[in-house]
Amino acid sequence: MLNIDLTGKRALVAGVADDGGFGFAIAKCLAEAGASVCVGTWPPALNILRNLIDRGKMDESRRMADGSLLQFEKIYPLDAAYDTLADVPAEVRENKRYRDLDDFTLEGLRNALVADFGEKPIDIVVHSLANGPEVKKPLIEVSRAGYLAALSVSAYSMISMVRHLAPIMRAEGAFVSLSYLAAERAVPGYGGGMSSAKAALESDTRILAYEVGRRYGLRLNTISAGPYASRAASAVGIVEILVDYYSANSPLKAPLTPEEVGAAATFICSPMASGITGSTMYVDKGYHAMGIAVDRGFPGAI
């Protein structure tokens, strides 16, 4: 039997704010495989996450297979909209959720990791970041600012994260991000430029994989996950409809679980996937393979 063993490896999961989404599930699965896990959390959600942990509100979800509780080695403030402190507008720096923090930019995250753990501190980086301030607007109604904001946080942040973190990663390390099928198919209701951001993320995955492979010997992939009604995804407004639709029309009818995405991410970041890079891995119960809906009594439907 082959087991994924990440003992001695350190992972950074960027985009964990609670225990309800894919980011947390990936972090937990990496820890189950033996990795130590640090997380990056959006500053406005930082105290919320810490309070949930300190007050025991996440104890049940943090329970590991051996009965212990998942422990984050470090929780870093991270706003991936900014590469350096010089990029941060004054109104953000002065905001009460930011003003008492150290450097919360991607450059600050890199510097903090090196200061805490040494010159080459990490093996695995998970990009679980997405935000579109106008996500409920049809694309045709999205403002330029809203569109660019979606691409900045949801796609460009991956490029910046690779640029800042690849040089401090250990040999044979791996990046993985989270995408969605709207990158390649029209999903009305998934608006605000988010479909464009996911398309950019998948395109960038291919060229970044070449660049980090040749420059650093690292791998880089993305996971196109099916819909899951996490707190963050609920902001889209149609996620419950999508969950039901996928269940009715996918080859596997059981709804997707975060643990399934966590397991896939752990595999693709492990040495067992050493030959896989530049790929989009579908973890969506097979929905991406379907060419027609079958929940309307289509002839031949099972």
End-to-end CA distance of the chain: 34
Q: Which entry of 82, 147, 180, 287 is annotated as an active-site residue?
A: 180
3-state secondary structure of 242: helix
Q: Which entry of 147, 156, 190, 246 is annotated as an active-site residue?
A: 190
Q: How many helices (H) and strands (E) does the chain have?
A: 10, 7
**Cβ atoms of residues 222 and 179 within 8 Å:** yes
Query: For this structure, is 282 an active site residue?
Result: no
Residue whose C-alpha is closest to residue 220's, from 262, 271, 268: 268
Neighbours of 101 (CB within 10 A): 16
Could you give the CA distance from residue 173 to residue 274 in angstroms, rounded to a whole number? 9
Residues 27-56, buried b or exposed e (16+ Cβ, 10 A)? bbbbbbbebbbbbbbbbebbeebeebbeee
Is 142 exposed, middle or buried (CB count within 10 Å of its CB: 0-12, 13-18, 19+)?
A: buried
Which strands, in side-by-side order, build the sheet including 10-14? 72-77, 36-41, 10-14, 122-127, 169-179, 219-225, 280-283
Could you give the CA distance from residue 47 to residue 13 in angstroms, rounded to a whole number? 17
The contacts of residue 43 (CB under 8 Å, 6+ apart) are: 77, 78, 79, 97, 98, 101, 104
Catalytic residues: 180, 190
